[in-house]
Amino acid sequence: MGKGENMERVARRSPLSIGSTDDRPADAASVRQDLVLESVSYAIAGRQVVKDISLTVRDGEFFTLLGPSGCGKTTLLRLIAGFESPQTGSISLGATRLEGLPAARRPINTVFQNYALFPHLNVAGNVAFGLRMLKWSREDIAERVDEVLGLVQLLDLRHRRVSELSGGQQQRVALARALAPSPKVLLLDEPLSALDLKLRRDMQVELKRIQTELRQTVIFVTHDQEEALSMSDRIAIMRDGDILQCETPAALYTQPADRFVAAFLGEANFLSAKLRAIDNFHATVEMRNGQTASIALGRHMPAPGEVTVMFRPEDVELGSGPGLSLTASVIQKSYLGSDLSFQLHLRDGTPVKLRSRASAAMEALRIGQQVPLSIPFEQLRIVGETR
């Protein structure tokens, strides 16, 4: 079933539908409903937990909030869902402002961090709950419950008590319950964190499939960077109530704006250097070893003085070559399946990581050995120092 039909159904039956007011086209699906946060701040007990956050989540987008524990991800979701209201700033969905609306009037559904399934209802009862509250007819509810349970592949368990479900099944029920009323925005708060690795990977694929199929707008919270990279259209990196950078996974990985983002997504090496010259596209820097490098400007605009140069372990090559040349001694060697990973130290003690496919030359490296390294100039980035 297509999203258009889906939304029409909600427009017809739901008093909450906000995509079909009179001054809008009849086809609700043709109206883009971006979720827009403007300068949203929120403090708990005098402490700023969300600091002046502005962001736009586009209609149909899989948007991820990624950040360490306690950075305010859940709080931001709660502000969007309507469980808390921001002290300043505005939140709107399409043309509707959400600030004044209580959670029960927002066409936004949540999959909670611990699922929060209703223990007194069975699987079908849980999924039907939102539809009953929206006063759908009995037949429509039955039809929709079947449809959504089919989507999460739980049709066989519809009469089970939720206490008799496995973690993965509970997670699917929570997803089905939130999807059933066809919310404009679906909020997922670390929905996979309670699952073991294998199940987690399966659920990631499934969740992504469902999201694509429904073209569902999703805001997904996680602190697992791999999960974020593999599923998201865009990722916002959060730290201490702030969004540091918000872009596609590829852009975040290849063009991190600052040290925190670079280190949080994947592994990163950092060297300090001096800025010598700067034009519209390039910065010329002088490395500690005297070598100068011309680095394409990315997301960070360096200021004169000390700058931080970043490169990824997989871009480090063994042996001397064109690009930045370094000499380092091997400290540690570890096997990562088909890859080998080395910890090295430069002469001044700066740590450098190298990661590469295992090869004879790599295997031959011994702890303590001095080796030449090279990094192509185009793999160097200048990143900001995180405040």
Ligand X SMILES: Nc1ncnc2c1ncn2[C@@H]1O[C@H](COP(=O)(O)OP(=O)(O)OP(=O)(O)O)[C@@H](O)[C@H]1O
Residues that bind another protein (CB under 8 A): 16, 81-83, 102-105, 108-110, 112, 114, 116-120, 129-130, 133-134, 177-178, 181
Q: Which does 49 bind (CB under 5 to 8 A by kind): ligand X, Mg ion, another protein, none?
A: ligand X
> Which pair of tokens denotes residue 25?
């086209």
Residue 96: what residue type?
A: T
- Residue whose CB is less far from Mg ion, 61 or 189: 189
Name the burial class of residue 92, with classes exposed (0-12), middle (13-18) and buried (19+) by CB atoms within 10 angstroms of its CB: middle
Q: Which does 45 bind (CB under 5 to 8 A by kind): another protein, Mg ion, ligand X, none?
A: ligand X
Q: Which does 322 bind (CB under 5 to 8 A by kind): Mg ion, another protein, ligand X, none?
A: none
CB of 77 to another protein, least distance (A): 11
Q: CA end-to-end span of the chain, whole Å?
A: 48
Q: Which does 70 bind (CB under 5 to 8 A by kind): Mg ion, ligand X, another protein, none?
A: ligand X
> Which pair of tokens denotes residue 179?
């999807």
State how far the Cα of 92 lies from the Cα of 289, in Å rounded to an integer. 52
Burial 269-283 (b: 16+ CB within 10 A, else e): bbbebebeebeeeeb
- Residue whose CB is less far from ligand X, 46 or 119: 46
- Residue whose CB is less far from ligand X, 33 or 75: 75
- Pick one of 74, 170, 171, 217: the residue that binds Mg ion (CB under 5 A): 74
CB of 116 to another protein, least distance (A): 4
State how far the Cα of 141 lies from the Cα of 58, in Å rounded to an integer. 29
- The total of other beta-carbon atoms located within 10 Å of residue 137's CB is 10
- Residue whose CB is less far from ligand X, 265 or 310: 265
219-258 residues in contact with ligand X (CB under 6 A) are: 223
- Residue whose CB is less far from ligand X, 224 or 286: 224
> Which pair of tokens denotes residue 176?
């089905």
45-84 residues in contact with ligand X (CB under 6 A) are: 45, 49, 67, 69-75
CB of 45 to ligand X, least distance (A): 5
The strands making up 35-44's β-sheet, listed across from edge to edge, are 47-57, 35-44, 88-93, 96-97
CB of 179 to ligand X, least distance (A): 22
Angle among Cα 220, 200, 195 to the nearest 5 degrees reads: 95
- Residue whose CB is less far from ligand X, 69 or 163: 69
Interacting residues of 115 by C-beta distance below 8 A, sequence separation 6+: 170, 171, 173, 174, 191
Contact 355, 339 (CB under 8 A): yes
Q: Name the site residues for Mg ion (rule: CB under 5 A).
A: 74
Q: Name the site residues for ligand X (rule: CB under 6 A).
A: 44-45, 49, 67, 69-75, 223
